[in-house]
Amino acid sequence: IKMMASGYHYREVANLMEAVKQLMNHFEKYTNIPKVSEIKTRVMTIQKDLKIHVHAVFQEIGQVCAFFLFFIA
C-alpha cells in the first residue's frame, strides 16, 4: 500500500485500504493478541501517512495552479 501510494496509484490504494478495513473490523475482537494489535497500529499509521501524503499533493497542485493563474491574469 505504501509503495502504491508513493506512486500515486490512489484508486488501487483506496481499494486495498477498504479490504484492509473490512479485515480489521473482523479481527477487532482479537486486538488483545499482540500480532493483531501490531497490525492494527500499522494500519492506522499507514492511514495517517496516506492522509498527510494526499493533503501534501493537493497543496502542491494548488500552488502550481495559483502560480499559473498569476501569469495568465
Give the model confidence (pLDDT) of 43-58 as tens digits.
999 889 888 888 888 8
Q: Which pLDDT belongs to residue 35?
A: 95
Nearest to 21 by CA among 13, 11, 32, 33: 13
Residue 62 has pLDDT above 70, yes or no: yes
Give the model confidence (pLDDT) of 15-44 as tens digits.
988 999 999 999 999 999 999 999 999 999
Residue 6 has pLDDT above 70, yes or no: no
pTM: 0.71
Rounded to whole angstroms, the Cα distance separating 1 from 34 reads 22
